Chains A and B, each alone.
Chain A
Amino acid sequence: MMNQTQVGGTKAKAARALAMAGLIIIFIAYMFPFLMVVINSLKQKRDIIKSPFSWLYTIKGLSFDNFVKAFTQMDFLNAFKNSLIVTCCATVLVTLLAAMLAYYIVRNKNVISGATFALMVASMIIPFQAIMIPLVSIYGGTLNVLNHRITLIFMHTGFSMAMSVFMFHGFIKGNVPIALEEAAYLEGCTHTQTFFKIVLPLLKPTISTMVILNSLAFWNDFLLPSLVLTDKKLLTLPLSTYSFYGTYSADYGTIMAGLLLCVLPILILYVVLQKQIIGGVVAGAVK
C-alpha cells in the first residue's frame, strides 16, 4: 500500500515535470516573434539581413538610432496623444452612458426600455463590416463630419454601447438592491443624486471590466479609425504604424523599432495591471 502511493507520487511528479517542459517549449515558441523584434530593433539593416538572430558579431554594432528615427518619422508623440485622447474620452463616455441607460432599463419596465434592450442584444451579432459602408455614406456624405476626433469618439461609444449596457444590465439586476435607492429617496435625494452617489459606486466590478475591455478595443482598433480619420495630424497609433510601414517597409531596423514603440505603452500597462486585465477579459467573455 505504502509502496503504491509512492509510485503514484513519483508518477505524478514526472507528469508534472513533463507538463512543465512542454509548456516552456510552447511558451518560447509563442514569444519568439517578440524576441525577434526586440533583437533586431537595435541592429542595422545589413546585420539583420546577415542574421536576424544574433546580437553578437554585428558589423555596425548595436544602437538606439533606429528608435530615434522611428520616433520622429512616425510622429510618435502626436499619434500617441491622439490615441490617448480618443481612447480615454470614448471609454469614459461609453461607461457612463451605458451604466445610466442600463440602470434606466432595469428600473423602468416599459415598452421603450424593453424594446431598446432587445434590440441591443440582437445587434451584438452584427459585425462592423455590415455597417461600415452606410456609416461612411451617412457621416462622410450627408453629414460631412469625418476627420474629427469627436466623430470617432462618438462612433466608438455607439458601437460598444450594446455590449456595455448588456453587462451593466446583468449586474444591476442581480447585485444592486432597490432598498438602498428607496432609502436615498426618503432622505430627499433626486434620481440623479441617487445614481451617482449610491448606484454608481456599487457598479465598480463591472465598471473596471468594461473600462479594460473597451479601452483595449479602442486603442487597437484600425478599421473604424481608418475610415474616419485621414488627416495626418489626427492619426491614431495603429494608423500611423500603417502609413509608417508603407514608407519604410525595407528599412527593417527602423520598422522593428517602430513596432516596439507601438507595443511598449500597452505592455507596460499590462505588467502593472496584469491581474485586473486578465480578470476583466475572463469576466467579459464568460457573461
Chain B
Amino acid sequence: MESKNKGKDFCIFALPGMFCFFAVVIVPFLYGVYLTFTDWNGVARDKNFIGFTNFISVVQDKLFWSSLLLTFKYVIVVVILVNVIAFAIAYLLTRGIKGQNFFRAGFFTPNLIGGIVLGYIWQFVFSRVFVNIGESTGWNLFEISWLSDPSKAFAALVMVSVWQLSGYMILIYVAGFMGLSEDVMEAASIDGATGWAKLKNIIMPLMMSSITICLFLTLSRAFMVYDVNLSLTSGGPYGTTEMAAMHVYEKAFTSRQFGVGQAEALILFIVVACISGLQVYLTKKQEVEA
C-alpha cells in the first residue's frame, strides 16, 4: 500500500477503527485517572480538584480491602480447582473414548450463557433443589440454603465459577493433549515411564503452553467476577460475598463516590496486571520444545 494518497488511505482504513478504540478505551482510561483526583458525585456540573484525598479514602475504606482479600481467596481457590478439574477431564477425554466431541461440547455449554442467567439457575438449585434434598434425606449439609450462610455462600460462588470456567479450559487442554506427539509418549512408555512420573516429567512440561493460557484466562476472569456474583448472591448474606469488582460498582453507582470508586478500580487493575504479568513470566519460563 505505497502510494501518493497516503492521507486518504489512512482515513478510510485506519481512522474509523482507531476512533472507536480511542473514544471508548483510551480517552475514558486517561479521564479515569483524572477523575480519581476530583470529588465528582455523578450529578454535579463542576468537579473540584482535591489531590490525593480519594486515595486516602481508599486506604480507609475497610470494606474495599476486605473485598479485595476475599477476591484473592476466591481467585486462588477458583484458579486451582478450575485448572486441576479441567486438566483431569481433558486427560480422560483424550484417552480415545467414544463421543469425545459430544462430551467436550456439553462441558462447554455454560460458557455460552451469560453469567446473570447462570447465577439465577444456580440460585434455584441452591435454594430449592438442594434444600429439598436436605429435607427428604435429613442431610445437614443441605438443610438450609447455602446462599443464606456466609461461608457456604462463598463455597456456592466458587462452585458455580468452577463449573462455568472449567468447560472453557477443557477445550484448551484437550487441544493441548491432542498436540502431544505420539512418538514422545511412546518413547516415554518404552523407557518405562508410567503414571505419575510420566505426567510430571513428560506431559506437564509439554503442556506448559496450554497451562500458561489457562492460568492467564482463569486469573483475569476470576479477578473480575461480577455477573455471577450479582445474580447468585448479590454480595449477600450481609455483604460477605461482595467481590472487589462488585464493591467498585457499588462505590461509584450506589454510594455515588465516583472518584473513590475509580481510584479503587485503578488499584484493582494494577493488582490484576501485576499478578497476570508475573504468572505469564513464570509459566513461560517452564515451557519446553518437544
Residues of chain B within 8 A of A126, CB atoms compared: 25, 29, 269
Cβ-defined contact, B121 with A37, below 8 A: yes
Cβ-defined contact, B14 with A159, below 8 A: no
Q: Report the separation of the CA atoms of residues A182 and B23 in the bound assembly, to the nearest whole angstrom.
A: 34
Task: Please give the distance in Å from B229's CB to the nearest CB on chain A.
Answer: 11
Cβ-defined contact, A252 with B124, below 8 A: yes
Task: Please give the distance in Å from B7's CB to the nearest CB on chain A.
Answer: 12
Which of A59-67, A71-79, A104-112, A201-209 sits within the interface? A104-112
Residues of chain B within 8 A of A107, CB atoms compared: 1
Cβ-defined contact, A131 with B171, below 8 A: no
Cβ-defined contact, A134 with B96, below 8 A: no
Q: Report the separation of the CA atoms of residues A97 and B50 in the bound assembly, to the nearest whole angstrom.
A: 40
Cβ-defined contact, A125 with B171, below 8 A: no
Cβ-defined contact, B21 with A130, below 8 A: no
Residues of chain A within 8 A of B31, CB atoms compared: 134, 137-138
Is B27 in the interface zone, CB < 8 Å from A?
yes
Is B163 in the interface zone, CB < 8 Å from A?
yes
Residues of chain A within 8 A of B249, CB atoms compared: 129, 132, 223
Residues of chain B within 8 A of A129, CB atoms compared: 224, 226, 245, 248-249, 265, 268-269
Contacting A at CB under 8 A, from B13-28, are 13-14, 16-18, 20-21, 23-28
Which of B60-68, B73-81, B104-112, B140-148 sits within the interface? B104-112
Cβ-defined contact, B171 with A104, below 8 A: no
Residues of chain B within 8 A of A157, CB atoms compared: 20, 24
Cβ-defined contact, B124 with A30, below 8 A: no
Residues of chain B within 8 A of A23, CB atoms compared: 89, 92-93, 97, 103
Residues of chain B within 8 A of A181, CB atoms compared: 1
Which one of A26, A33, A195, A216 lies within 8 Å of B13 (CB-CB)? Answer: A195
Task: Using A259-B120, A267-B109, A267-B112 as known contacts, say yes or no to A127 and B258 having CB atoms under 8 A apart.
Answer: no
Which one of B24, B92, B113, B125 lies within 8 Å of A220 (CB-CB)? Answer: B113
Is B40 in the interface zone, CB < 8 Å from A?
yes
In the complex, the number of residue pairs spanning A and B with C-beta atoms less than 8 Å apart equals: 251
Contacting B at CB under 8 A, from A2-51, are 15-16, 19-20, 22-23, 26-27, 30-34, 36-37, 40, 48-49, 51
Q: Report the separation of the CA atoms of residues A184 and B64 in the bound assembly, to the nearest whole angstrom.
A: 59
Which one of B26, B35, B114 lies within 8 Å of A133 (CB-CB)? Answer: B35
Cβ contacts A216-258/B at 8 Å (1 or 0 each):
1001111100000000000000100110010000001001100
Residues of chain A within 8 A of B171, CB atoms compared: 278, 281-282, 285
Residues of chain A within 8 A of B172, CB atoms compared: 282, 285-286
Is B231 in the interface zone, CB < 8 Å from A?
yes
Is A98 in the interface zone, CB < 8 Å from B?
yes
Residues of chain A within 8 A of B224, CB atoms compared: 127-129
Is B262 in the interface zone, CB < 8 Å from A?
yes
Task: Please give the distance in Å from B261's CB to the nearest CB on chain A.
Answer: 6
Is B149 in the interface zone, CB < 8 Å from A?
no
Residues of chain A within 8 A of B114, CB atoms compared: 219-222, 238
Is A274 in the interface zone, CB < 8 Å from B?
yes
Cβ contacts B222-239/A at 8 Å (1 or 0 each):
011011001100000000
Task: Please give the distance in Å from A119's CB to the nearest CB on chain B.
Answer: 7
Q: Report the separation of the CA atoms of residues A256 and B115 in the bound assembly, to the nearest whole angstrom.
A: 16
Residues of chain A within 8 A of B18, CB atoms compared: 101, 116
Contacting A at CB under 8 A, from B35-55, are 35, 40, 42
Instruction: Show 23 residue pairs from A and B whose CB-CB distance is below 8 angstroms, ordered by the A residue.
Output: A19-B95, A20-B98, A30-B109, A101-B13, A101-B14, A104-B9, A116-B21, A120-B21, A127-B269, A128-B224, A129-B268, A137-B258, A138-B27, A154-B24, A159-B24, A220-B113, A220-B115, A223-B227, A255-B124, A263-B117, A266-B113, A267-B109, A278-B105
Given contacts A141-B42, A259-B117, 20 further A-B contacts (CB under 8 A): A27-B107, A31-B109, A97-B20, A100-B14, A104-B13, A108-B6, A127-B272, A131-B25, A137-B258, A161-B20, A219-B114, A220-B113, A242-B116, A245-B120, A245-B231, A255-B124, A267-B109, A267-B112, A278-B104, A285-B168
